[in-house]
Amino acid sequence: MDSKVYMEETEQYVLHTYNRFPVVLEKGEGVYLTDVDGKEYLDFGAGIAVFALGYGNQAYNDALKAQIDRIIHTSNLYYNVPLKEAAEKLAKVSGMDKVFFTNSGTEAIEGAIKAARKYAYLKDGRTDHEIIAMNHSFHGRSIGALSVTGNPHYQEAFRPLMGGVKFADFNDLENVKEQVTDRTCAVILETVQGEGGIYPATPEFLQGVKALCEERDILLILDEIQCGMGRTGSYFAWQQYGVEPDIMTCAKALGCGVPVGAFVLNEKVANASLVPGDHGTTYGGNPFACAAVSKVFDLFEELHVVDHVREVAPYLEQRLDELVAKYDFLSLRRGMGLMQGLVVTGRPVGELVAKALEHGLIVLSAGADVLRLVPPLVITKGDVDEMIRRLELAFQA
Ligand SMILES: *Cc1c(COP(=O)(O)O)cnc(C)c1O
């Protein structure tokens, strides 16, 4: 296949909403991808923090194949076996109460917003509740999720958005407090901001927001779509802060490539929010997607993925810190576990990402000036060394 022709024909039929890199990816093995021309890429993007287990995990693939032969879809009018297994495992690792499966992260956010509004409605009967979201956040592209996404550039052309949203500065507790009114029903934030530029919440901030929420019976929604599923060195990043959300959203690595998300409620919210008739989805929680989620949790346990992240992440941090010390255009490293960002000043980050690709390395950008690394969680120290080698070639180009 001629990749140039293939790209042209894709552009002919696929709506142009992405400026894609000139690469046609075809297959993956471990932490490497191969394009249609046979060129190999070390993947430190993982399909945007999705492919936690790496490519071609045989046990994962076999579980999906077996589920295809059993049944792919049933609908939510009936029970199915993988649904129970996936929900039980997600509830257990999070210590939370009830799960609703969706098809994407965006839809998980929509569900979280609806659950929060319903909880508040049942309490006081009002229909003018407000949500406090963060500047530089990212929660998705549907109108509800976009409305709590603190990026005017993404929002502008699509107004009017959902009402009742106020924005505060991430990691600025006083600023959050200033936005609170007697109508505030929820605070939504990413435990580690991803698209905005890899900003971990400070412990004082997250603990302060939690205390504020408890005091005012405001629900805390933590978006763990990117930072969850082991990436930061615990199943969910909030588990390292001693702060439990009332509602959590998951997606990305939850299905390791099968499109699936979830919003998860604690007991308080599960018992006093959404009931039959309030929310639904045709595909969400279908046996195929849930078989993926269920197998992902099994493999995380078998392969000790979260322990592995805790072991390899300090090495990644050390090697990245060496780069920051060595190159003037890198001003600092930020991140948690295998979710790391290098702040690039003086060179356009997009150019570095493109150069890395030429040298067989997939990395991402985030925010205006951050080079983002969200590799598969199964990377070895050797993979880190190879990533650094290729990245330095890109820097020198
Ligand atoms: C990717 C992402 C979303 C949106 O998820 P989709 O599956 O793309 O709809 C929401 N929140 C965060 C933090 C994300 O990283």
- Residue 232 is given by DSSP the state T
Mutate which of 225, 365, 372 for ligand 1 pocket (most atoms within 8 A of beta carbon): 225
Q: What is the pLDDT of residue 2?
A: 83
Q: How far is the CA of 349 from the centre of ligand 1 (A)?
A: 21
Q: How far is the CA of 258 from the centre of ligand 1 (A)?
A: 14
The DSSP annotation for 19-51 comes to ---S--EEEEEBTEEEETT--EEEESSHHHHT-
Spacing of C-alpha 223 from chain mean position: 8
Question: Tokens standing for 90?
Answer: 């997600």
302, amino acid identity = E
SS3 298: helix
C-alpha dist (Å) from residue 358 to 22, 174, 397: 10, 45, 10
Q: How far is the CA of 252 from the centre of ligand 1 (A)?
A: 7
Model confidence pLDDT, tens digit, residues 312-335? 999 999 999 999 999 999 999 999
Mutate which of 106, 372, 374 for ligand 1 pocket (most atoms within 8 A of beta carbon): 106
Q: Which residue has the tokens 């059993």?
A: 70
Q: How far is the CA of 255 from the centre of ligand 1 (A)?
A: 13
Alpha-carbon distance of 243 to 154, in angstroms, equals 30
Model confidence pLDDT, tens digit, residues 214-258? 999 999 999 999 999 999 999 999 999 999 999 999 999 999 999
Q: What is the pLDDT of residue 1?
A: 63
Return the CATH class of domain 71-302: alpha beta
- Residue 45's closest CA among 375, 365, 304? 375
Alpha-carbon distance of 44 to 383, in angstroms, equals 9
> Can you tell me which atom of ligand 1 is nearest the CA of 49?
15
Task: Tell me the mean pLDDT in the region 297-317.
Answer: 98
Question: Tokens standing for 133?
Answer: 């979201």
Model confidence pLDDT, tens digit, residues 361-397? 999 999 999 999 999 999 999 999 999 999 999 999 8
> What share of the chain in percent tops pLDDT 90?
99
Model confidence pLDDT, tens digit, residues 78-132? 999 999 999 999 999 999 999 999 999 999 999 999 999 999 999 999 999 999 9
Q: How far is the CA of 91 from the centre of ligand 1 (A)?
A: 20
Q: What would the CATH number be for the domain defined by 3-57+304-396? A: 3.90.1150.10
- Residue 155's closest CA among 134, 133, 140? 140
Q: Which residue has the tokens 């929010």?
A: 273
Which helix H or strand E contains 109, and what residues bound it? helix 105-124
Q: Which residue has the tokens 């990436």?
A: 231
Model confidence pLDDT, tens digit, residues 353-363? 999 999 999 99
Q: Which residue has the tokens 């929680």?
A: 285
> Can you tell me which atom of ligand 1 is nearest the CA of 107?
9
Q: What is the pLDDT of residue 281?
A: 97
Provide the b/e sequence for 116-145 (b: ≥16 CB within 10 Å).
bbbbbeeeeeeeebbbbbbebbbbbeeebb
Question: Tokens standing for 105?
Answer: 């992260």
Alpha-carbon distance of 136 to 155, in angstroms, equals 12
> Does the beta carbon of 140 sit less than 6 angstroms from any atom of ligand 1?
yes
Rg (alpha carbons) of the chain, rounded to whole number: 21
Cβ-Cβ contacts under 8 Å for 8 (sequence gap 6 or more): none
Confidence band of 346 (pLDDT split at 50, 70, 90): confident
Model confidence pLDDT, tens digit, residues 20-38? 999 999 999 999 999 999 9
Q: Where are the domains of the chain?
A: 3-57+304-396, 71-302
Residue 351 confidence (pLDDT) above 70: yes
Model confidence pLDDT, tens digit, residues 136-163? 999 999 999 999 999 999 999 999 999 9
Question: Tokens standing for 382?
Answer: 């050797």
